[in-house]
Copies of this chain bind each other. A is one copy, B any other.
C-alpha cells in the first residue's frame, strides 16, 4: 500500500510542502515526475488530508492558548454528538479529543485575550447544561506544536 518512497515523501511533506519536485527527487532517489505522480496519488487516496499554513501566534497579536478538560453530565450518544458538532463549529477550539479516563474531552483553545476566553467559557461551557465540570490549564509555553506523526 505505502512503500518506502511514499513514506519518505510523506515525511518530507509533513514538514514542508514548498519543496520542488526536483528537491524531493534528490531526497528520495526518484525522478521528479515519479515524485509528483506519487504525491497526487497520496492526495487522491486521502493519505494527505490537507496542506496548510502554520501561522505564528505572536505575529497575530499576543494570543493565549488553553488546555480545557471537560466532563459531560452523562455520556448519552446524542449529547456527545451535539457536543462534538459544537466543538467542530467553534473557531476558538483548535483541537478536540474524546478521551477515556477521568474526563471526557480535552480541548485546545486559542483566544486573543483573557476576556475572550471568559466569553468563550460563558457561551460554550457555563451555558451548556450537559457539561458537568471543566478545568482550565493556561498554556505558558507552547513547547512543541505540530501535526507531524512519526512514520516508520
Whether A46 contacts B59 by the Cβ 8 Å rule is yes
Q: Which residues of B contact A45 (CB under 8 A)?
A: 59
> Across the two chains, which residue of chain B brings its CB closest to A105?
B143
Are B144 and A96 in contact, CB atoms less than 8 angstroms apart? yes
CB <8 Å contact, A14 and B55? yes
Total residues of chain A contacting the partner, CB 8 A = 64
Task: Decide yes or no: A98 and B52 within 8 Å by CB, A47-B60, A60-B2 being known contacts.
Answer: no
A91 to B53, CA, bound (A): 20
Whether B98 and A141, one on each chain, are in contact in the complex, defined by CB atoms closer than 8 angstroms, is yes
Q: For residue A136, which residue of chain B has the nearest CB?
A: B101
A137 within 8 Å of B (CB atoms): yes
Contact B54 A48 (CB under 8 A): yes
